[in-house]
Amino acid sequence: MDDPVIEKVTVPEGGFWPAPEIARPNIYPMEWRVETDKLAAIYEKSKRAVWNPADLPWDGIRPEDFTPEQRLGIMYWFSVLANFDASGPAVFARATVHAFEQHEEDPVRKCFFSITRDEMNHEECCQRTIARLWPGGPLDWTPRTELEKAAHNNISWLYYNGGRYWHGYNSAVGKYPLAVLFTSFMMGEMAASTLFRGMASGTRHPVFGEMFQRIGRDESRHLQICMTILDKEWPGLTEEVKEQITRQLRAGFVFLSMILWEPPEGFWDLPPYFLANHRVLMDHARDAGLGVLSFEEQAENWRVAIARVRAIVERWGIPFPAIPELDMSGVEVEFIDPEDIIPVF
């Protein structure tokens, strides 16, 4: 066959036909609009900061260095962490798609993608640690002792609640304005960076030390991303949106306290023995040298992190919710249902 003859372009009589309008929300048409140079710079930095969890010195985590209770405790802690960090990839992947559909500027979409990438690494740390210390964990193993049965049962209740959150999050993504979504993310990242900073300084184990430091660095970058986006989103918020944010902040506290401190009343649907067993298991993780802070230290850390969030949002005239659990006064927010929960790590 001969090559097609290349001629001049065809110009229809009466001019070119305009393409039909694209139904929204839609990821088309393609575009690379940049409004916030700072976000573009953070994305560049994030590409250079990528690390590989597989390269951590995993041989240094030796099951024989721990008692069975300590191994169970560490597995339990990482299973609780996974309720947050292992939901990260799916949560931010969805947020990334949403940002494309809403035609957010290019650096917003790229930063969301980079958070998705990082969260996949954090998830991998949960996966690898559990595989080394408790094969079959979190749930695919048969508990034998009372302690094991308590751990297995607590984890299954925890993930049942995670499932309720996922349900709510799915509907929230399309429902809330971006300022609300990002404020929730910001609270999650503040919590995450606080947690890992505390754990990195508390752990007696070099491999966990390196892991927590790397994850903590990622979380601080996520926080920076959220803050940069919010600087753009916050000016000119309506009273209605501000109210939603106040509610979200309370929801964030209730949800994130499970890993930062202890689960408060409100959202969590748990059996009456959950907390007592949770404390025993956390204590085994603490005893193993993982770096789990004491109840009081956790409360203090969480209080400081929340005070930071509070200072930031109040600058924009957003009322902060009361956190009586940590003796912080503010606006009363009553019932939190799964639909209210957005924050991740």
Please name the residues in contact with 87: beta carbons below 8 A apart, sequence gap of 6 or more.
Answer: 162, 165, 166, 344, 345
CB 100 within 8 A of CB 317: no
Q: Cβ of residue 86: shortest distance to Fe ion, in angstroms?
A: 9
Q: Cβ of residue 226: shortest distance to Fe ion, in angstroms?
A: 9
Q: Cβ of residue 45: shortest distance to Fe ion, in angstroms?
A: 15
CA dihedral 256, 261, 265, 268 (to 10 degrees): 50
User: Which token pair is 291?
Assistant: 């770096």
Please name the residues in contact with 282: beta carbons below 8 A apart, sequence gap of 6 or more.
Answer: 73, 76, 77, 292
Q: Cβ of residue 80: shortest distance to Fe ion, in angstroms?
A: 14
CB 289 within 8 A of CB 283: no
Nearer of residues 114 and 277 to Fe ion, judged by Cβ: 114
Q: Dihedral of CA 226/195/268/319: which sign?
A: negative
Considering all CA atoms of the chain, what is the largest pairwise distance in Å, rounded to the nearest integer? 83
User: Which token pair is 90?
Assistant: 């799916």
User: Which token pair is 24?
Assistant: 């929204």
Nearer of residues 122 and 132 to Fe ion, judged by Cβ: 122
Q: Cβ of residue 23: shortest distance to Fe ion, in angstroms?
A: 33
Contact footprint for Fe ion (CB under 5 A): 85, 88, 119, 122, 192, 219, 222, 345
Nearer of residues 108 and 192 to Fe ion, judged by Cβ: 192
Q: Cβ of residue 227: shortest distance to Fe ion, in angstroms?
A: 13
Q: Cβ of residue 85: shortest distance to Fe ion, in angstroms?
A: 4
3-class DSSP assignment, residue 9:
coil
Please name the residues in contact with 153: beta carbons below 8 A apart, sequence gap of 6 or more.
Answer: 271, 277
Nearer of residues 66 and 212 to Fe ion, judged by Cβ: 212
Nearer of residues 222 and 284 to Fe ion, judged by Cβ: 222
CB 92 within 8 A of CB 100: no
